[in-house]
Amino acid sequence: MKFPKLFKQCISAFMVILAFNTSCSKKSVTFSKNGDTDNRFKVIGYLPNRTDLVAASNQIDFGKITHLYIAFINPDSLGNLTRTENLKEIAVIAHSKNVKIMASIGGGGAPKYYPSFLIGEKKTKLINDLVNLAVDNNLDGIDVDLEGALIDANYENFVIDLAKALRQKNKMITAAIATVYKDQFTDKALAQFDFVNIMSYDRTGPWRPERPGPHAPYSMAEEDLKYWLETRKIPEEKLTLGVPFYGYGFGGTAPESISYKNILRQYPDSINQDQMHLNGGMVYYNGLPTIKKKTELALDKVGGVMIWQLMQDSTGVKSLLGGIDGVVKGR
């Protein structure tokens, strides 16, 4: 019989518990370079940065997450950060709920001019502006979600300099990474982050109509964790497993992209499935059982789960976040 890691750690810590009258938790406290000592199993939720950001944040169940990421805040073509309104107000709400808040830069649709901001004077200005953004709005740090061609020869030096500047202000730096870009991430660059969030989804999608099928199967989560843990040897407490709250459609007139919430609005009984026929095509997503199973995998292997994105969830007993929370809290 294979005992869960939590059980084995509790047994090994038995004498410590007796001596110090402490409780046994899954993770020991780890000190990151900026002195952060939060040892909770992370539940990270991305929230799209939109005009109704405050209203959207009021829909979040902060009791079920540990970190809130506002996505995205990027420079305009002149190098000035845009859409920074309401960050301080959201930070007050998050901190009152014991939730850390980060501003995320980049994203899959990051501006094409971004590479020019990773070098020279533009890099210096961007880093200064990001540090000031975190300090002025009482954010806990910056999340770097640069993808594809933006993980270029200048990526390493950019994150090194950004990490140094943030830590001088006692702020965190994290990153979103994907195994499809694995050869573009240097070990030195990855070492700069307090932790990294694996985007374990989008194996296929509307951009690959010739490859219909699941874009985030459970097997992908297993493979991603194996690579980053065993091949790249990132410590387990510095990794989280990303899960999708959306699906992709192929064939017929199925929607190219659809939220889990809208899937259930049309087909309420789809909660326990990972695919469904729709408009002559097929939609692939992660239903509640798969999300729970992935959370169990993350509990056993790494330090948390990451969600893209919170506004795509359903409510009540059908909520994916609720399913994650139930697994994390043992319900």
pLDDT in tens, the chain (331 residues): 444 454 444 444 433 333 333 333 333 323 344 445 578 999 999 999 988 999 999 999 999 999 999 999 999 999 999 999 999 999 999 999 999 999 999 999 999 999 999 999 999 999 999 999 999 999 999 999 999 999 999 999 999 999 999 999 999 999 999 999 999 999 999 999 999 999 999 999 999 999 999 999 999 999 999 999 999 999 999 999 999 999 999 999 999 999 999 999 999 999 999 999 999 999 999 999 999 999 999 999 999 999 999 999 999 999 999 999 999 999 7
* 8 A C-beta contact, residue 128 and residue 175: no
Residues making up the chain, counted from first to last: 331
> Nearest-CA neighbor of 45 among 62, 67, 17?
67
Taking the C-alpha atoms of residue 153 and residue 302, their distance in angstroms, rounded to an integer, is 29
Fold of 38-246+287-328: TIM Barrel (3.20.20)
Taking the C-alpha atoms of residue 275 and residue 139, their distance in angstroms, rounded to an integer, is 38
Q: Read off the pTM.
A: 0.89
Contacts of 35 (CB under 8 A, 6+ apart): 170
Taking the C-alpha atoms of residue 196 and residue 173, their distance in angstroms, rounded to an integer, is 9
Domain definitions of the chain by residue range: 1-27, 38-246+287-328
> Nearest-CA neighbor of 82 among 68, 72, 67, 97?
72
User: What are all long-range contacts of 260-268, with beta carbons under 8 Å and residues at least 24 apart?
Assistant: 260/285, 260/286, 260/312, 260/313, 260/314, 260/320, 261/311, 261/312, 261/313, 261/314, 264/314, 264/318, 268/318
Q: What is the pLDDT of residue 8?
A: 42
Neighbours of 41 (CB within 10 A): 21
Taking the C-alpha atoms of residue 174 and residue 274, their distance in angstroms, rounded to an integer, is 30
